[in-house]
Amino acid sequence: MLFKQQALLRQKLFVLGSLAIGSLLYLVARVGSLDRLQPLCPIDGRFGPRGQDEIPLRALQFKRGLLHEFRKGNATKEQIRLHNLVRTRALLEMLNLHPAVVKASQEIHFFDNDENYAKGIEWYRKKMPFSYPHQITIEKSPAYFITEEVPERIYKMNSSIKLLIIVREPTTRAISDYTQVLEGKERKNKTYYKFEKLAIDPNTCEVNTKYKAVRTSIYTKHLERWLKYFPIEQFHIVDGDRLITEPLPELQLVEKFLNLPPRISQYNLYFNATRGFYCLRFNIVFNKCLAGSKGRIHPEVDTSVITKLRKFFHPFNQKFYQITGRTFSWP
């Protein structure tokens, strides 16, 4: 009883995962209309006749073999380049190393789900873990960042809340989105369009902004919606790529943003060559490695499509740097 009285939900911090891989819905282009059109785009024309523009069943099995080699430490540089390691869950688990941080055990989807939101704030509070007055409670749901209603809903609950946004190179993030859907299709023995078919409009040969994986990577468009309710000082931008390859500096920046005493050190992080990413050391007896699903191999994508996407995202990225005051080494 005493524990329940002391365990107060004092403060909530939301991790707005613009990596947003796990909760997105996808639409496939209409096959009937594509069949009747002559290829107007040189990129589209290279995909070949119908059937060749789809990923065949088990297409990623070979690449999963590469992932196995990577985890054994036998991968080449090219294989390592293909290895996708970044997920929003990584930040949550790493921050949980700090004794003043407690995390929700699952994605709540309160603010982005109308049905859950209608259940009221008390329903949401009951989903939060107990925390002491000196602790910060963290909850993350990737769809929060891109869902239009969320900023206003969070503002009405707590206008002084602190917000973390995790970003990675936009083109890579879009391909990662696609890869998750592709793997889901593969598990169901279904084929799926190649990434190039979805990301490029065959009628105009331009980037298809109706494709959700592309829209999600236009970070500045989503951030501008949030800035109608919250000042930029209440946001901290986390480099999702660096978080995986060099986590400690990113975690130290988050500690500073949250006004937490520095507690996470190199002792808490060690690279596991078998798994291919960092594991967490909570104390002398308890270690934790992220699950194997945290590594995902991307399919090969036409280099001209990658170039076109990077050129498309470039002005949006520059504006994002200007607004946030943080620059990334994105092409």
User: How long, in residues, is the chain?
Assistant: 331
Alpha-carbon distances of 210 from 102, 186, 199, 243, rounded to whole Å = 38, 24, 9, 30
Strand partners, 16: 165
**24 — alpha (psi -120 to 50), left (phi > 0) or beta?**
beta
Structure-token match 């209309």, residue found: 33
From CA 273, how far away is CA 130, in angstroms rounded? 35
306 is in an annotated binding site: no
314 is in an annotated binding site: no
188 is in an annotated binding site: no
Cross-sheet strand order for the sheet of 12-17 = 101-103, 136-140, 12-17, 162-167, 235-239
Alpha-carbon distances of 275 from 10, 65, 68, 71, 146, rounded to whole Å = 36, 13, 9, 4, 31
103 is in an annotated binding site: no
155 is in an annotated binding site: no
DSSP letters for 193-260: E-HHHHHB-TTT-SB-TTSHHHHHT-HHHHHHHHTTTS-GGGEEEEEHHHHHHSHHHHHHHHHHHTTP
176 is in an annotated binding site: yes
What 8-state DSSP symbol labels residue 7? -
296 is in an annotated binding site: yes
Is 278 strand, coil or helix? Answer: strand
Strands (E), 32-114: 54-55, 83-84, 101-103
From CA 287, how far away is CA 205, in angstroms rounded? 49
Alpha-carbon distances of 129 from 12, 13, 121, rounded to whole Å = 11, 13, 14
* 68 membership: H or E segment, kind and range: helix 61-72
138 is in an annotated binding site: no
**Which residues are known binding-site members?**
168, 176, 278, 294-298
**Which residues are known binding-site members for 3'-phosphoadenylyl sulfate?**
168, 176, 278, 294-298
